[in-house]
């Protein structure tokens, strides 16, 4: 952490997360000049292209936003004045961390308990939506005279739930599954001790034996497309897949193929290779699919908590006060 306040106190907020902007007003009151970029809630949602972000962020020592900008080595090199990135959310897979460290750029994220709770609840909602056929029995279905069809909902109790990843969100899901009458198993190579009543297992066994598979792994080069065609081939035809983590964990083409061929019973997706995805994506033509627009943590209280956390991180990095949740401590040396 800087011993003294950073002299150039300017930040470009390339994505605004909290509609109240109160955390940004607070930064300005502390002497940090805030330039406000695009709101994340605008319709239609438009990300900055690489050329646009280079032009908009040129000269700023600090940037703040979510995952809408890919901080590649090339982009980092194009912003020579950049010294701080205050990230909304926990994931930093949109940032080339070695390139940032080489430049001495400090990066902070926002590990909020409320975010883990929100994503965990969203995960359970997706499980119920798929198992209870909630998106098939709709007001439209009833207006058409629909009643009890020749399909049936399914009971969650008695299922085996396979958790891929046991970080904050994965453990929050486990805590909320207690009392549901399910068997929980998990795969996480970084975890040696699982929560009570959770059995650690290898990925292959988890895929073969789970009725519900929920992804909560941290994205990395090693686990990119860990759920591919071969992985779907191991799953039960009655299994469902839930992804509220990162799109890169799943090979989308393989997912579409598995849904079309009914290799699995269904899937629920909150994250996409390109965000926002193309409206005519083949993925959205699959009937056994539940989708949400990357809103697992998109709650009023949640976005405010994250926005304030990121603002405090930035203040700590630029002004030398307080604590910042740095993800690359080595960049200080």
- The pLDDT, as a whole number, for residue 2 is 46
Number of domains, the chain? 2
Assess if residue 107 is contained within a domain: yes
241 and 325 together in one domain: no
Assess if residue 73 is contained within a domain: yes
108 and 20 together in one domain: yes
Report the catalytic residues: 246, 275, 294
Q: What are phi and psi of 207, to 5 degrees?
A: -65, -35
Q: What percent of the chain has pLDDT over 90?
A: 87
46 and 95 together in one domain: yes
Assess if residue 306 is contained within a domain: yes
According to DSSP H, which parts of 203-297 are helical? 203-209, 229-234, 252-260
165 and 268 together in one domain: yes
285 and 304 together in one domain: no
308 and 262 together in one domain: no
pLDDT digits 0-9 by tens, 61-92: 999 999 999 999 999 999 999 999 999 998 89
pLDDT digits 0-9 by tens, 288-317: 999 999 999 999 999 999 999 999 999 999
Say which CATH number the domain at 174 has.
Answer: 3.40.50.720
Assess if residue 53 is contained within a domain: yes
CA 137 to chain centre: 28
Helix (H) or strand (E) holding 175: helix 168-177
- The pLDDT, as a whole number, for residue 46 is 86
230 and 206 together in one domain: yes
For 240, the domain range is 155-291
Contacts of 141 (CB under 8 A, 6+ apart): none
- The pLDDT, as a whole number, for residue 328 is 83
- The pLDDT, as a whole number, for residue 331 is 62
60 and 165 together in one domain: no
322 and 278 together in one domain: no
Global confidence as pTM = 0.91
Which of the residues in the chain have pLDDT under 70? 1-5, 330-333
């Amino acid at each position: 952490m800087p011993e003294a306040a950073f002299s150039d106190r300017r930040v470009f907020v390339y994505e605004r997360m909290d509609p109240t902007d109160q955390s940004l007003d607070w930064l300005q009151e502390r002497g940090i000049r805030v330039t406000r970029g695009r709101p994340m809630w605008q319709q239609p949602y438009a990300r900055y292209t690489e050329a646009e972000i280079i032009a908009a962020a040129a000269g700023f020592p600090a940037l703040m936003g979510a995952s809408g900008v890919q901080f590649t080595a090339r982009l980092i090199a194009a912003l020579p004045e950049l010294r701080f990135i205050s990230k909304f959310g926990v994931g930093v897979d949109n940032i080339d961390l070695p390139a940032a460290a080489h430049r001495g750029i400090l990066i902070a994220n926002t590990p909020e308990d409320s975010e883990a709770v929100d994503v965990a609840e969203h995960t359970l909602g997706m499980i119920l939506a798929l198992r209870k056929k909630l998106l098939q029995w709709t007001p439209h279905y009833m207006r058409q005279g629909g009643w009890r069809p020749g399909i049936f909902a399914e009971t969650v109790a008695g299922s085996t739930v396979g958790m891929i990843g046991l970080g904050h969100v994965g453990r929050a899901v486990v805590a909320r599954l207690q009392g549901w009458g399910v068997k929980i198993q998990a795969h996480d190579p970084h975890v040696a001790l699982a929560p009570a009543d959770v059995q650690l297992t290898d990925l292959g066994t988890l895929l073969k034996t789970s009725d519900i598979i929920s992804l909560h792994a941290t994205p990395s080069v090693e686990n990119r497309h860990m759920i591919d065609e071969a992985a779907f081939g191991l799953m039960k035809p009655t299994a469902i897949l839930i992804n509220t983590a990162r799109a890169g964990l799943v090979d989308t083409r393989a997912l579409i193929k598995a849904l079309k061929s009914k290799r699995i019973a269904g899937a629920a997706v909150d994250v996409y290779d390109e965000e926002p995805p193309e409206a005519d994506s083949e993925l959205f033509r699959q009937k056994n699919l539940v989708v949400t627009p990357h809103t697992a943590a998109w709650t009023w209280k949640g976005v405010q908590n994250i926005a304030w956390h990121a603002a405090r991180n930035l203040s700590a990095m630029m002004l030398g006060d307080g604590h910042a949740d740095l993800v690359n401590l080595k960049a200080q040396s």
